[in-house]
Structure 1
Amino acid sequence: MSMNRRSLIGAAGLALTAPALQGAQAAETAKPAAKAPPPPPVTKILAQWILSSSYDTLPENVRREGVRSFLNWVGVAIGGSHHETVDVAVSALQPFSGPPQAGLFGRTERFDIMNAAFLNGVSSHIFDFDDTHLKTIIHPAGPVASAILAYAEMKPVSGKDFLDALVVGIEAECRIGNAVYPNHYDAGWHITGTCGPFGAAAAAGKLMGLTEQQMVYALGLAASQPVGLRESFGSMNKSFNPGRAASNGLFAAILASKGYTSSDGMIEAKRGWANTISTKQDWSEITDGLGTRYESALNTYKPFACGIVMHPTIDAAIQIRDEDRVKPEDIKRVDLKVHPLVLELTGKTAPKTGLEGKFSIYHAAAVAFVEGAGGEKQFSDRAVNDPRVVALRQKVVPVITPGIDAAQVDMTVTLNDGRTVHRRIEHAIGSVEKPMSDQQLEAKFADLAAGVLPEAQAKRVIQLCWSLPDLKDAGDVTRAGVQGA
């Protein structure tokens, strides 16, 4: 087909002007983007509150939960002290340790406070049996208590001051976690390792008597040390994260105490911590209600030694096993309606080790039916490879279901004779709604300490933990909890 000169020029002109016209039209219709207001001085506000807190200003329920958090943490640290992971870490670090300033729960070795903080943090998390702030899935006590108890052995602090520091440290890390969860966690960060350094730095810095500017520096240095990726789950590396968070936070506070500087806005700045590692930033979660709303009062304690999202399933399985007298060999199929996070975090279908079993909803359901429990023994290499458990986990069918919360499960067990048994768990034992009692925490502690410390020694450590506010020297807890004490 032919085209005359005028038509050709017209077509060319249209081709050349169309993008320009479209651009002009777009410019006319486009509205200027609303400029986000600058963030408040979050780092400074948090530093001011950390330093203003005292034992006397803590509400009674917050003090009580702080003591319960401490007791639970000491118990799991003692229980995990001879896991292969801790043995490896002790062997690796011992040649490089500085002066023997602090002890390790359940062991005889002594390390410099930086390495002691790391090792007790590893020990307290290796069983995945430590406390959990359910709003963020942060394990709060590990990074904080590991750091400040090591420091307390080098420089004695009263139990009241220690408890206050523990609470403000937990508060700092959980509030910062609230500000970025779930986006930060969904990106693959292990939130205990990334927020833990803030808690450890806040608590240690408070015990060191930092000035406000030094506390700002300590929080800034903590911001520079996020650690931990979710890919590590199911390996020794997972417990590295809270251990390293403890030593990183302690490191930050020590440097700040000598005037080592940082930016004053490391949490909230455009290229600071929150904007760099998360697509969500809710500054009010950090600054609102400081001193009146306590995240530490929402801490929970695990009755089962595994990922928290598996607890409802274990709870349901044990109920059906015990109350409906269902035997493993009678089960044809176990249907689970679950939240997406359950399969995302615990979707390992064929775990080979106890650490892998802690992230297998299939194993959790099966072992609960077979052994009627979910303690550390049920997440051992032995349990994971038990033929009865292996056979039953192949009958477990989890399905992501709309309307099911991460803290819930809907379980239907189909028996070989065609009958079905049903349980829906809204809140598992150990949740805020169904908390473990003091007696249950003591029983958990005693079970974890069995075989590590003599029974009388374990009871002594339990009593010291309950008496924390009355202790003249909080370091007495560690000294009472080492082997041979």
Structure 2
Amino acid sequence: MAYTNRRTILQAAAALPALAAAGRGALAAEPAASEAPKKVASVAPPHVTQILAHYIVNAKYDDLPANVRKEGVRTLLNWVGVAIGGSHHQTVDIAASALAPFSGPAKASLFGRNERFDIMNAAFINGVSSHIFDYDDTHLKTIIHPAGPVASALLAIAEMKPVSGKDFLNALVLGIETECRIGNAVYPNHYDVGWHITGTAGVFGSAAAAGKLLGLNEQQMIWALGLAASQPVGLRESFGSMNKSFNPGRAASNGIFAAILASKNYTSSDGMIEAKRGWANAISTKQDYAEITEGLGKRYESALNTYKPFACGIVLHPLIDAAIQLRNENKLTPDMIKQVNVKVHPLVLELTGKKTPKEGLEGKFSVYHAVAIAFIEGAGGEKQFSDRAVQDAKTVELRQKVVPVVDPSIKPEQVEMSVQLADGRVLKKRIEHAVGSLEKPMSDVDLERKFADLAEGILPREQAAKVMELCWKVEGLASAGDIARAGARSTA
């Protein structure tokens, strides 16, 4: 699939019939909160699960196009950075403390920490760490954060058994391809009723990737996908709490669980994705199975991955981008601002309508906080979504001057911002595509700066640089587990 512009990524629900008619190139839509999910008729072709399993088992590293390999490496680098950055958040401290007494053999590392756990608990904790800042990668067509469930599982396995860098990268791409294709098949209806698609689709990516490294045969891979289908995890009600990051972490460990059982011939149905009472029919009113089976090995969803310059939900990125530009262009200070009016897509208030966030995690789902902090600090990194930032008196005061207005003509990737100043002037900014989008992607240098900033204060600068180098050179590594070992904090 060619790179698409963000305008087509999250269409309003009314566009669904037209998109369905347009064929495989059409992108999924996000219905407004007031609209019920629409049934999308789709006759399940035979053997969807088997077709996918056959592809996963037989796909080789040498089959990957150069651009897909490159995006896989960028995905890895970004994921390791956010996993290190989130490693000492209170959420991760709690998870590590709670699970330590129950961990099995200590075979896998935690990024940014000195504890070691069994592979399933390590995958879970690293998955939590990588998502707690909401700073991870995003497949914009589905709002799936692909690397969390997949990379967390793979790096744990890579410490348990020898895995070459090429095999690791191939499994990473295949896992992302699996979860995003399955996500495409049910989005947006599945998401709209309340499922957190990163967890529910991510478990398939984890199972596929783990199964690839464990050398499952085709029948075992079918069973692994079936066992993954029985473990959907994550509800959108959890957004703004520690529970949100639980979802990709649990998807990672559940996928390993499924692959290990399947490796010992623990059986499942052969049609768990597409059967009448299978996963897709049970959890969604839309099933577009061609998204799963068509173009395997030819079009790559993993090539459409994007990386966040701001540590919050994608729908807030245009607003933060606009605020930072206006601030910098006009040297604005909070006392100069009388009111900030923003025209937004309905999805913005549906997802980020928290007016009075009390802690950093809630701030990530507050359009009021995101705009205010962007004007005050000129940034939108993890520091701007901390408890400190959310509770700052100047931020609290300025967010009361933010007035979002829903305008259905505004696309999810757009925003119109108008700032009334105390001196009577009115400043305006329209964003078509925010920085970090496919149209304005983060460069390799941008990703390195983000990585270094996240690792600061957690790993020594030399160690962080070494981990970064290993990520860039993953394809040449004899052991991909070196990345996980290098990313752990020394006990000294």
Structure 1 and Structure 2 fold alike (TM over 0.5): yes
Q: Distance in 2 between matches of 1:469 and 1:227?
A: 32
Where structure 1 has 5 or more consecutive residues not aligned to the other structure, the ranges are 1-34
Q: Is the 8 A contact 2:340 2:418 kept in 1?
A: yes
Alignment of 1:176-255 (within 5 A): 176-255=182-261
Which residue does 1:115 correspond to in 2? 121
For residues 108 and 325 of structure 1, the distance between their equivalents in structure 2, rounded to whole angstroms, comes to 43
1:431-476 CA deviation, whole Å, 9 max, x = no partner? 1110000001000000000000000000000000000000000000
**TM-score, normalized by length of structure 1?**
0.92
The percent identity for this pair of structures is 75
Distance 2:158 2:394 in 1: 47
Distance 1:252 1:95 in 2: 23
SS in 2 for 1:271: coil
| 2:368 corresponding residue in structure 1 | 362
What is the rounded CA distance, in whole Å, between the counterparts of 1:190 and 1:252 in structure 2?
20
Q: State the Cα distance separating 1:405 from its structure 2 match.
A: 1.2
User: Match for 2:139: what amino acid?
Assistant: H
The whole-number CA distance in structure 1 between the counterparts of 2:174 and 2:345 is 32
Find 2:87's aligned residue among 81, 92, 96: 81
Secondary structure of residue in 2 paired with 1:292: coil
The structure number with the bigger radius of gyration is: 1
Match of 1:47?
53
Matched, 1:290 2:262: no
| Match of residue 104 from structure 1 | 110
Counterpart among 160, 164, 187 of residue 154 in structure 1 = 160
Do the aligned partners of 1:40 and 1:283 also contact (CA within 8 Å) in 2?
no
**Map of 1:424-439 to 2, 5 A cutoff?**
424-439=430-445
Q: What letter is aligned with 2:228?
A: A
**1:414 counterpart letter in structure 2:** Q
Aligned to 1:392: 398
Per-residue CA distance 1:176-219 (angstroms, 9 max, x = gap):
00000000000000000100110000001011111100000000
Residues 161 and 207, structure 1, Cα contact 8 Å, conserved in 2? yes
SS of 2:201's partner is helix
Aligned equivalent of 2:279, options 268, 273, 276: 273
What is the rounded CA distance, in whole Å, between the counterparts of 1:440 and 1:265 in structure 2? 43
What are the superposed Cα offsets for residues 324-345 of structure 1, whole Å, 9 maximum, x if unpaired?
Answer: 2222211111111111111111
SS state of the match for residue 335, structure 1? strand
Matched letter for residue 62 of structure 2? D
For 1:398 and 1:263, the matched residues in 2 are separated by 48
Q: Secondary structure at the match of 1:413?
A: strand
Cα deviation 1:332-363 (Å, max 9, x = unaligned): 11111111111111000000000000000000
- Deviations 1:394-413 (CA, angstroms, capped at 9, x unpaired): 01111110221111111111
Post-superposition shift, 1:36? 6.8
1:410 counterpart SS class? strand
Question: How far apart are the structure 1 equivalents of 2:105 and 2:389?
Answer: 40
Match of 1:406 among 412, 436, 440: 412
- Normalised TM-score (structure 2): 0.91
Corresponding residue SS for 2:157: helix
Cα pair distance change 1:96/1:432, threshold 3 Å: same
**Cα distance in structure 1, aligned partners of 2:286 and 2:255:** 23
Task: Flag the 1:38–1:60 CA change in 2: closer, same or farther, 3 A.
Answer: closer
Which position in structure 2 is the counterpart of 1:444? 450
SS at match of 2:440: coil
Instruction: Evaluate the alpha carbon distance shift between residue 159 and residue 38 of structure 1 in structure 2; reply closer, same or farther with a 3 A threshold.
Output: closer
Contact 1:122–1:239 under 8 Å retained in 2? yes
Match of 2:489 in 1: 483
Q: CA–CA distance in 2 between the matches of 1:164 and 1:140? A: 15
2:134 aligned residue: 128
Amino acid at match of 1:431: S
Distance in structure 2 (CA, Å) of the matches to 1:431 and 1:250: 31
Contact kept, 8 Å, 2:319 with 2:417, in 1: the verdict is yes
Is contact 2:106–2:116 with CA below 8 Å preserved after alignment? yes
Structure 2 gap ranges (5+): 1-40
RMSD after superposition: 1.0
Residue of structure 1 aligned with 2:316, choices 310, 313, 332: 310
What SS does the corresponding residue of 1:71 show, helix, strand or coil? helix
Is the Cα–Cα contact under 8 Å of residues 144 and 246 in structure 1 kept in the other structure? yes
Which of 38-47 and 360-369 deviates more? 38-47
The 1:125/1:38 distance shift into structure 2, 3 A limit, reads closer
Amino acid corresponding to residue 141 of structure 1 in structure 2 = A
Q: For 1:121, give the aligned amino acid.
A: G
Shift of 1:234: 0.5
Inter-CA distance 369–42: structure 2 relative to 1 (3 Å threshold): same
d(CA) in 2 for partners of 1:287, 1:425 = 36
Pair 1:319 & 2:325 matched = yes
- In the other structure, the counterpart of 2:100 is 94
Check the 8 A contact 2:310/2:317 in 1, yes or no.
yes
Report the Cα distance in structure 2 between the residues aligned to 1:367 and 1:440, rounded to whole angstroms.
Answer: 21
- Secondary structure of the structure 2 residue equivalent to 1:403: coil
Q: Which amino acid aligns with 2:488?
A: V
Q: Distance in 1 between matches of 2:282 and 2:346?
A: 26
Following the alignment from structure 2 to structure 1, what is the Cα–Cα distance between the partners of residues 185 and 428? 38
Say whether the 8 Å CA contact 1:105–1:120 is kept in structure 2.
Answer: yes
Please name the residue that 2:423 is paired with. Answer: 417
Residue 419 of structure 2 aligns to a residue in which SS? strand
Amino acid at match of 2:359: T
1:484, 1:180 → 2: CA distance?
43
The offset of 1:39, in angstroms, is 2.9
